[in-house]
Amino acid sequence: MKKSAWHASATRSTPSSLFRAGQGLCALLVLGLLIGLGTATTWAANKRWLVQFRPDTPPEVQEAIVAQSDSKVLQRFPSLNAMALKLPAHPGMALAMLQSAPEVVAVEEDAAITVPALPAEGGSQGLILPSLPGSNVYPWNLVEIHHDQIPLAIRGKGVTVAVLDTGIDPVHPAFGSGIRIEGGYNARAGENPDDWIDRNGHGTHIAGIIIASQQGQGVLGVAYKARLYAVKVLNDAGGGYLSDLIAGLLWIYAHPEKGIRVINMSLGFYQDSPLLHEVIRRLYQEGIVLVASVGNYDCGIPASEGGDSIGATSEGGDSEGGDSEGGDSGLDCTWQVKYPAQYPETIAVGATDETGSVTSYSVQGPAVDVVAPGGTRTAPILSTYLGSGFGLGSGTSQAAAHVSGVAALLLEVNPALGPQEVRQILQETATDLGEPWEVQGAGLVDAEWAVEVAGDWP
C-alpha cells in the first residue's frame, strides 16, 4: 500500500473556470481514428512465460533446461538470471518441467501490456483540428497546475526523460525537429533495436505533453527544454508484453551515461511481477524518478465506442491514424490500480478534468499518489501526433506525462533531489480536492508551488 500518513491540506483553491483549449470543438470534423487500445486478450493468445534461475546456475545449464522444455528463448536478462520464453504448442508439460527444475526459482506469465483504454468520458472521438489555438492561448491543462506562474527560465533544461511507450516521431517540429530528442531504443523481442519510430501516435502524444514547444500555435509541454529518450516497449497497435517493459527498463539501468533522471510509463497491466519489481527497485535506488499512470476504468464501454482515440492533423491538413493491427476492443472492467503504478517506488498518477475535478474514469485505490490533468471527451489534451501533426487525447496516460514534466522541473532547480524527495514535494504541495485518498492521492499537482519548494529543499 502506498498511501502516505500525510494528506495534503494546501491552501490553493481548486480551479473552476479555466480556459478550455477544446472549447467550441463540437463543430469540428469527427474522424474515427481508433488505435485499438482495449484489454489485452489477443496479446495473451500465445502463452509466454518468464523463468528465473538460481544466481549460481551457469548460462549453459540455463540454456539446456530451456531446450529440454522445447521452449523458444525470446529475451535474455543475464542481470536477473532470467529469460522470456515462448512455450511449445502444448505448454502444460513444458511448464511443469520448468517449475520442477531445481535450478529454477520462479516462473511467471509474460503478461500482456497495453496503453490504457479510455471510457466514453475520456475519449476524444478523433477530433480534427483545422487550425491550432494560437500563441495567445495558454493550454488549460498547464494553467490548471499553475505552470503559467513558473518563471520562464525554468523549463526542464539539463534534465533527461525517458518515455516507455510506442516510440516517438523524432523529427516533429515541436520537438525542435529532433534537437531535443537524445535517441532511443526498441526493447521489443525480435525487433530492430534501432527502430524506435512511433507508428501508433500514443508515444508521440505523451512525449509532447512533456517536451513539445510549437511557437505561435499554442502547443506547449510542461518541460519543453528537457531532453528525451524514446524506449519502444509497445508495438504499432499499442500492445506488448511484460518482458518488453523489463527489457526497456534494463536498457536504461545498463546505460547510466545517458543521464536519464525521469521515466514515464503511461501503460499498465494487472499482474504483479517480482521480476519487474526488482528492476524498478534498482532504478529507484539509482535515483531515477519513475512515474506511472493508474489506468482507466472502461467497464461497459467498448473501445469502439469511445476508446482511446487521438484525433490528429498533420501539416497541410492530411490526417494520420493509428494501426489497428492486433488491437482489442474488449472491456476493461477492473477497478484496480495497474502495475507498475502499484509499486511503492513509482509515482502513481490519476486524472483530472478541466474543472480540476477527478475524472470518473480515473481508477481509484490506496496506491494513488497524486492527480494531474488528463482531460475528457469535451476538453481533451492537445499535444503532438504523427506526421508532424497535433491531436487531442485524454486519460491517465496524459496525466502521468504532466507529472513527469513537473518532475523534470524540480530536478532542474535542484538536481540533488532523489525520487522520494520528488514524490514528497509533489504531495506536500498538491491541492487538496476534498476527495478520499483513494480517489485523489495527495491531490492535484501544483507545479508552481512544487518548483518553489524544490528550490529551497535542504
What whole-number distance in Å separates Cα of residue 406 and Cα of residue 131? 28
Catalytic: 255?
Answer: no
What the block records as the C-alpha cell of 2 is 502506498
**202 is a catalytic site residue:** yes
**Residue for grid cell 527544454:** 225
Cell of 288: 531515477
Q: Are 248 and 76 in contact (CB under 8 A)?
A: no
Torsion of CA 166, 169, 175, 176, to 10 degrees: 150
Q: Are 204 and 384 in contact (CB under 8 A)?
A: yes
Q: Give every CB contact of residue 12 below 8 A, 6+ residues apart in sequence.
A: 146, 431, 446, 449
177 among known catalytic residues: no
Beta-carbon count within 10 A of 118 CB: 37
As given in the structure block, the three cell numbers for residue 66 are: 530451456
Say how far apart CA 158 and CA 154 lie, in whole Å. Answer: 10
d(Cα 304, Cα 330) in Å, to the nearest integer? Answer: 9
Rounded to whole angstroms, the Cα distance separating 165 from 368 reads 21
For residue 268, the Cα-to-chain-centroid distance in whole angstroms is 8
Number of Cβ within 10 Å of residue 101's Cβ equals 20
Strand order in the sheet with 160-165: 181-186, 227-232, 160-165, 260-265, 289-293, 346-352, 370-373
What is the rounded CA–CA span in Å between residue 379 and residue 393?
9
Locate cell 471527451: which residue?
A: 377
CB atoms within 10 A of CB 368: 28
**CA 243 to chain centroid:** 16
Strands 213-214 and 239-241, by their bridges, are unpaired
DSSP letter for 34, please. B
| Euclidean distance between CA atoms 178 and 172, whole angstroms | 7
Active-site residue, from 110, 165, 244, 353: 165
Q: Would you call 263 helix, strand, or coil by DSSP?
A: strand
Among candidate residues 293, 362, 397, 404, the one labeled active-site is: 397
* Residue 90 grid coordinates: 502444448
Q: Which candidate in 146, 202, 205, 402 is catalytic?
A: 202
Q: Annotated catalytic sites, by residue?
A: 165, 202, 397
